[in-house]
Structure 1
Amino acid sequence: MKKRIIWIATGIILAIFIGLTAAGNYFYNVAINRSQESVELHGGGESVTAATLLSEKEEQKKLEEITAWTKKQKFEVVEIKSEDGLRLKARFLKNEQPSGKAVILAHGYKGNSEQMPGITKFYYEQGYDILKPDARGHGLSEGDYIGYGWHDRKDYVRWSKFLSEEAGVDEIFLHGFSMGAATVLMASGEELPEEVKGIIADSGYTTVLEELSHQLKYMYNLPAFPVMQVTSVITNIRAGYTFAEASAIDSVAKNKLPLLIIHGDKDALVPTEMGKRIFEKANSDKEIWIVPGAGHTEAYTIAEQEYQEKLKAFWTKAIGK
């Protein structure tokens, strides 16, 4: 009888282990493994405010203007090598009227360097050179997995050095959206070149563990424990990082650069409270702007003029001019 109980218990434990391992590998393939397929994330849709802001005719006209401007620009594809030997690529736009200033724009999850045309145009019109990297595992860059900003943080140190050493830039800002915001926040805790003057994070998450747990709850109606912990172990084996260590909130505590946090108060993809907690943890000169009515990364759409004024004031203060 005792032997039978032991066999049953062993069988149950083995079944649970196999089930959790299968679930962990499934979620790794969905969320971490490189794929061209887009994922419908919870909270990723357009908000009511953004949808009703402009008439269809006005929106179309604005989009046509940005698209026409973008097509006229001569982006150069540039390349660096990552610390672990990956060939990483970016689109670089040298300003026709160089000012010695540049911005590195960081795209979001499953995005690429061809995105963010509106903010690209704005920065260019302010005299900035523009560098738009494809994150590892995205676009033209190599990489078999998505790092959610963690391994990418060191890539951004290298991109910053590329601008300061090879492009002759004197003042650099890092500006990221969503996963890109988490990336620049994580990079802020590293030893960046002295030319980097400030960090702008729009809709960034606290840690990969918290963000993926948030998505797991709403997309699959599953508790984070133990699925996220198992997936994290598999990610550590296959990609070399854990969800808990991939922390923007811990990195920002080490940051000494001026910091601007932007978050929509209707953000359901990356909850607004994450932006507030990041702000509270930061020790550098910091500012937070919670944008009324804005969903995920919609602040520029909802309040374009105010967004631009916020950026101008932030640059001026950060550079000290």
Structure 2
Amino acid sequence: MSSGPAGQVTRSFNSPHLETTSRTSLRRFLRTVDGVTIDAAYDPGTGPSGDLAFIVAHGFTGDLDRPHVRRAAGVLTRNAAVVTFSFRGHGGSGGRSTVGDREVHDLAAAVAWARELGHTRIVTVGFSMGGSVVLRHAALYGGSAGERDGERDQEHEGRTEARTDAVVSVSAPARWYYRGTAPMRRVHWLVTRPEGRFVGRFGLRTRIHHRDWDPVPDSPVECVPRIAPTPLLIVHGDQDGYFPVDHPRMLAEASDGHAELWLEHGMGHAENAADGELLARIGDWAVAHAG
């Protein structure tokens, strides 16, 4: 199905309803509202929550076929169905990465696909860059609708099918342009320098847009207050080498008591650091809080 008019979340190509796919894995290309083709996969899972689906949003330079993404998805399938996808500019998806800005449309397309398949409860689970995207997505497509930011409002008018019922943000930044750690200084070199984007394209399978943000999107900490009443879980490791613990604490404080914060002892950064026990706890939390 070709992309719809501005403001609508475009559906997948030839996607059957859940009744015919509940025991079938699927691979589809989705089309975002701004016309980018997104590589996505559906696993029906083995858990008892048939109406629930997790949408897994990977970190920067990841994609749906990376082993750490597949491992995280595999744990979550014990509770419910899982949709994984590659953000724009990553893996088999089209376009170029905007490192957390336009990626909100990619997530919206994946959520809409899960609802098209018949799932009535959706939980978005994002890691690192994906963690910032799930926060922005929840503020734009759900939560306190009408109080969301003014950025490209017409593109989010079709938010009903793209809304989420609970949000899990793992290892996310609270604010943009953070360079306080060596890993984040390397990320900024990768994104802002021509030679860095060359390494990203040919070394990391990540095609990065050369343009600066214009306008700059609202930061994760600015979005968090608009997510309520949608349940929100913030997860962060106390050994995260990219974003220190002031980031999750800022996010939790911005929620004014609405968010639940898990500071995980000994945990590093994102999917690679999230062990099976933590992922299982996240899955249990989601089942209990989504709808």
Which residue matches 1:309? 281
In 1: Cα distance, 2:279 partner to 2:287 partner: 12
Letter in 1 for 2:52: K
Match of 2:274 among 296, 300, 313: 300
- Is the contact between residue 79 and residue 90 of structure 1 (CA under 8 Å) also seen in structure 2? yes
Letter in 2 for 1:157: A
In 2: Cα distance, 1:138 partner to 1:208 partner: 21
Which residue matches 1:102? 53
Match of 1:140 among 92, 95, 104: 92
- The normalised TM-score by structure 2 is 0.69
How far the C-alpha of 1:208 sits from its partner, in A, is 3.0
- Is the contact between residue 148 and residue 183 of structure 1 (CA under 8 Å) also seen in structure 2? no
Count, aligned residues: 229
- Is the contact between residue 79 and residue 89 of structure 1 (CA under 8 Å) also seen in structure 2? yes
Letter in 2 for 1:277: M
The question of 1:265 aligning with 2:233 is answered no
How far the C-alpha of 1:282 sits from its partner, in A, is 1.9
In 2: Cα distance, 1:291 partner to 1:243 partner: 34
Cα-to-partner distance string for 1:6-55 (whole Å, 9 max, x where unaligned): xxxxxxxxxxxxxxxxxxxxxxxxxxxxxxxxxxxxxxxxxxxxxxxxxx
Consecutive unaligned residues of structure 1, counting only runs of 5 or more, are 1-72, 229-236
- The normalised TM-score by structure 1 is 0.63
The question of 1:154 aligning with 2:126 is answered no
Which residue matches 2:81? 129
- The alignment yields a C-alpha RMSD, in angstroms, of 3.1
CA spacing shift, 1:110–1:310, aligned 2, 3 Å: closer
Consecutive unaligned residues of structure 2, counting only runs of 5 or more, are 1-22, 143-159, 194-208
Match of 1:175 among 118, 125, 130: 125
The question of 1:205 aligning with 2:179 is answered no
In 2: Cα distance, 1:271 partner to 1:184 partner: 20
The question of 1:285 aligning with 2:262 is answered no
Cα-to-partner distance string for 1:162-183 (whole Å, 9 max, x where unaligned): 211x201111100011111111
Cα-to-partner distance string for 1:144-170 (whole Å, 9 max, x where unaligned): 3x2222211132223212211x20111
Give matches, 1:179-194, under 5 Å: 179-192=129-142, 193=160
What is the DSSP-based 3-state SS (H/G/I as helix, E as strand, rest coil) of the residue aligned with 2:263? strand
In 2: Cα distance, 1:274 partner to 1:159 partner: 27
- Is the contact between residue 259 and residue 286 of structure 1 (CA under 8 Å) also seen in structure 2? yes
Greater CA radius of gyration, 1 or 2? 1
Cα-to-partner distance string for 1:163-214 (whole Å, 9 max, x where unaligned): 11x201111100011111111111111124376210001100123322x565
Letter in 2 for 1:204: A
Letter in 2 for 1:163: A
Comparing both structures, which one devotes a greater share of its residues to helix? 1
Amino-acid identity (%): 21
How far the C-alpha of 1:84 sits from its partner, in A, is 1.8
In 1: Cα distance, 2:252 partner to 2:44 partner: 32
Match of 2:72 among 119, 139, 144: 119
Match of 2:225 among 253, 256, 270: 253
- Is the contact between residue 207 and residue 244 of structure 1 (CA under 8 Å) also seen in structure 2? no
How far the C-alpha of 1:243 sits from its partner, in A, is 8.4
Letter in 2 for 1:143: G
Letter in 1 for 2:102: H
In 2: Cα distance, 1:317 partner to 1:260 partner: 10
The question of 1:91 aligning with 2:65 is answered no
Cα-to-partner distance string for 1:217-262 (whole Å, 9 max, x where unaligned): 855999xxxx99xxxxxxxx95462485351111222112110000
